[in-house]
Copies of this chain bind each other. A is one copy, B any other.
Amino acid sequence: MDTLQIKNILSEFQLGKLAMEEVIDKLRVLPYEDLVYAKIDHHRMMRQGFPEVVYCEGKTVQQVVGIMEHLTGLNRNILATRASCEMFEAVSKIIPDAHYHELPRLITVEREKRAVDEKRFILVLTAGTSDIPVAEEAAVTAEIMGNDVKRVFDVGVAGIHRLFAQHELLEQANVVIVAAGMEGALASVVGGLVAKPVIAIPTSVGYGANFGGLSALLSMLNSCAAGVAVVNIDNGFGAGRLASIINNMR
């Protein structure tokens, strides 16, 4: 609810079109839709430029379908993360143009292709092949939010020449996302090479003293390279969202 809306409400009140109680009500209730089990934040589109994204884990299939249905009513493009195959099948019955990305487990509905500035692209790197699902979550997220994304997979530090061969892409990219598990060293090496925002995603790839991604997480937080920021373990969506915000700054 922006200042303009407040002005309009007050004007109507001044003109007697609204009673005092109505004004109080309106000032209090910002726009969202209440499904009891979920309050869909339609205001988010205005506030943040993209509708609320549905985090599917822990929701029932019915809840996911219900939320998706209401979101599609008011928005052109929608994203749901961590969706099971079963959820997608139920959603696609009521939203036939929904699309399922199997590896990153995303559901997208894209009815309006956003214009993309190809000179400003986001580069998504992975250290290994096993990090691809998380990287794809980041890449698809950034794409549906209107960004050009380039992917380079499997350039971890055990064979560091594979990374250096990408130096042109590194130099041209506007924002870099690095997804790496195990010791997550790739983020520090990339952060030391470029002067751009580097968003590091620790992945849970690994075993033993990796403790579900903790090793890569701590590694990235302690990066000796400045300019590296970190999101949650396996949080491809968060990295893609932040990269998109930065990439669209002018």
Interface residues of A (CB under 8 A from B): 1, 3, 6-7, 10-11, 13-14, 20, 23-24, 27-30, 32, 36-39, 41, 43-44, 47-49, 52-53, 55, 57-59, 63, 67, 82, 127-132, 153-162, 164-165, 167, 174, 182-185, 188-189, 191-197, 199, 202, 204-235, 237-239, 241-242, 245-246, 249-250
Contacts and interface: CB of A to CB of B under 8 A. Distances in A.
A221 B226 contact: no
Contacts of A219: 183-185, 215, 218-219
B44 A159 contact: yes
A129 B68 CA distance: 13
B47 A195 contact: yes
A165 B28 contact: yes
A49 B183 contact: no
Contacts of A32: 159, 161-162, 165
B241 A43 contact: no
B183 A57 contact: no
A46 to B, nearest CB: 10
A246 B157 contact: no
Contacts of A195: 47-49, 245
Contacts of A245: 195-197, 227
A156 B28 contact: no
A187 to B, nearest CB: 8
Contacts of A185: 157, 183, 185, 188-189, 219, 223-224
